[in-house]
Structure 1
Amino acid sequence: MTLHNQNVRKDAYSKNLGPVSFESRISDREGDVMTIASREVVMIPPTTTIMGAAKTMLTYHFRRLPIADAGTNRIVGIVTSLDIADFMGGGLRHNLLQSRFHNNLLAAVNESIREIMEENVVSLNEKSSINNALRVMIEKNIGGIPIVDGDNRVRAIISERDIVWLHDNMATSKNVNEYMSKNVISISPDLPISKAASNMITHGFRRFPVKKEGVLFGMITASDVLRYLASGEVFNKLISANASEALDVPVKELVTKEVITVAPEVDMGTAAHLMVENKIGSLPVVDDEKLVGIITERDFIRSLI
């Protein structure tokens, strides 16, 4: 989904609703979910390798991919960047690498994506409202929902990113400090990638600020772990095929060091614009050079419910 297409849909949606308040744009009207959902859906069959899925996500800059049966085109699963982080060192999916493949990363990444995909896919139908989509994301703790037709074929996807886009440069009269997470968990730049991935699964976070001696050093995200695998960089760290050689590398080699931050008193619409413009999913909140919180895409949904 390109920013250009986002702007086209945003204009169409705004014209459809007319000159109304920001709150009333978040419609509960049947079928309105399709006005902001992305119809440019990339899907893969369950026979795709884990490496192939990761490369597809990297190529299209997607954090999730629906997995569809090649014959019927019906959705059978979904995989996310957090699932890839799980596989690389996080939780249950890492067992595939450790137990079945005895830490042989080269062999494990050529296993089919069905081994780590989520089979119990939460989906919505084309007649759903935006409000319904928001409630489901919060209740199920998921960042995106496939929109399917009566035959369970994917027609679109709505994601947290679409909700941020809806806020872009809007005057919401809501400030960042009202919705940011104040108890920020940060990690050290020397923490191994496998441990960072494990923390993501344990805490259910896709991203962590990285602090060095109390100073914000950068950000590490599940997408960074995905990129580490999909770009092939992970294999440059291997002497043998043992995954630990690549996963014991410190996160400072992956972190985004040019961090975009926001002040706590900034309007949520301005914060959304920073995220859309810089193609990022979160903003550390800094006050007087001190990290006081983090605002994420999920917080934009919470601000609407």
Structure 2
Amino acid sequence: MNVGKTLIRTLMIPDPSTLNPNDPLAEAIRKVNEFGVGRVIVGKEKVVGLVTTRDLLELIVQECPEGCPENIMKDVLYAPVKNHMVCSPSVAYENDLALDIINVMVSHDYGSMPVVDKAYAPKGIVTEREFLLLYQDLPKTHKVKSFATSRVATIDSGIRLEEAVSLMIRRGFRRLPVVDSEGKVIGIITATDAIKAFAKFIEKKNPSFFFGKKVSEVMKYPVLSISPETYVNDAAKELLDKKKGSFMILDENGKVSGIITERDLLIALHHMLHMQAMKTGE
């Protein structure tokens, strides 16, 4: 079976969450938080843009680096989505092949792509996570250690949430391991956790749900870890089963020695599918 020829329509999340270009950013934050996909398509009849968790968090820390006065917060929350969306995003069509779209996502560092019909109407969205399903039809040939990131940035549990978000934005990370004074991993903070906290701030109209909150109050624990000797196929299955975006690789002292993420597994899949195509001559 040539897994790379799987049609996108069989992998995509159908009936995606959408916004109108003039909808307020507050609605984008609500939808990103509620639907848990990390991005929202702009354009109900024709795709014109995309708003991601990263876009929203980048705006928040840019406009409110040390807290957010009410007047500035209103300007941020009620600004139209069209002012901050990624315009004319790359899209996939329902009958595109999986390998073709993986090529695009890996080469351009995309975490997702809207899926459209011939009229450019939104029909679905495909993220890194959906492609991990393809591993079930591939032989076990590569291990986590070949694709894991070994240089991992960490943060102290006492750091404020907005500082952690700023670091994620600057370094292009979606998650950061949280360590204690001895450098042992005690939790993980993700962009999703941050947007949930900000959505709570909006709902309750209480800045303390985001600004000034310590990472230790928001982080998830215990941290899920994996052996570097695990096959990437099994790692992908575990991420899907546990509905997580990464696994830590820990040494014997509980310190982080690596991380394997959905992104890393997409890159591994990209490599394996190209190897398969070369062997079959397709």
- Does TM-score exceed 0.5, indicating one fold? yes
Distance change (3 Å), C-alpha of 1:204 and 1:120: farther
CA distance in 2, matches of 1:34, 1:124: 9
> Take 1:259 and 1:202, find their aligned partners in 2: how far apart are those partners?
24
Pair 1:25 & 2:9 matched: no
Is 1:169–1:272's contact at 8 Å kept on the other side of the alignment?
no
The answer to whether structure 1 residue 292 and structure 2 residue 257 are counterparts is yes
Instruction: State how far apart, in whole Å, the 1-side matches of 2:216 and 2:204 are.
Output: 17
Look up the match of 1:66: 41
Deviation of 1:281 (Å): 0.8
> Structure 2 CA distance, aligned partners of 1:287 and 1:150?
50
What letter is aligned with 1:47?
N
Match of residue 146, structure 2, among 162, 178, 194: 178
Contact 1:41 1:155 in 2 (8 A): yes
Supply the RMSD in Å over aligned alpha carbons: 2.6
Match of 1:211 in 2: 179
Identity of aligned residues (%): 23
Counterpart-to-counterpart distance in 1, 2:90 and 2:150: 29
Superposed counterparts of 1:1-305, under 5 Å: 20=1, 24-27=2-5, 32-68=7-43, 73-89=45-61, 94-95=62-63, 104-167=72-135, 172-213=140-181, 214-232=183-201, 235=204, 237-238=206-207, 246-288=210-252, 289-305=254-270
- Give every structure 1 segment of 4 or more consecutive aligned residues whose post-TM-superposition deviation is greater than 4 Å: 100-103, 168-171, 233-237
State the Cα deviation string for residues 163-189 of structure 1 (Å, max 9, x = none).
123335965221111110011111112
Contact 1:191–1:251 (CA under 8 A) maintained in structure 2: yes
**1:44–1:231 Cα change, 3 Å:** same
Q: Distance in 2 between matches of 1:250 and 1:236?
A: 18
Deviates more, 1:170-179 or 1:223-232: 170-179
Residue 116 of structure 1, CA deviation: 2.0
Check conservation: 1:97, 1:103, Cα contact below 8 A: no
Contact 1:264–1:287 under 8 Å retained in 2: no
- TM-score, normalised with respect to structure 1: 0.79
Write the deviation string for residues 106-140 of structure 1: whole angstroms up to 9, x where unpaired.
44223222232111411122332111111111121
2:185 maps to amino acid:
L
Q: Decide whether the 8 Å contact of 1:65 with 1:79 is kept in 2.
A: yes
Return the alpha-carbon distance in structure 2 between the equivalents of residues 299 and 262 of structure 1: 14
Deviations 1:177-232 (A, max 9, x none): 11100111111122222221121221111111111120102111111111012233
Contact kept in structure 2, 1:169 and 1:273, CA below 8 Å: no
Where do 5+ consecutive residues of structure 1 fail to align? 1-19, 240-244
Structure 1 counterpart of 2:118, one-letter code: G
CA drift of 1:256 comes to 0.7
Mapped contact 2:135–2:269 kept (Cα < 8 A):
no
Count of residue pairs the alignment pairs up: 267
Q: For residues 116 and 168 of structure 1, do their structure 2 counterparts lie closer, same or farther at Cα, with a shift above 3 Å needed?
A: farther
Q: Structure 2: which 5+ residue stretches go unaligned?
A: 271-282
Distance in 1, matches of 2:178 and 2:71, equals 27
Using structure 2 for the length normalisation, give the TM-score.
0.85
SS at match of 1:285: strand
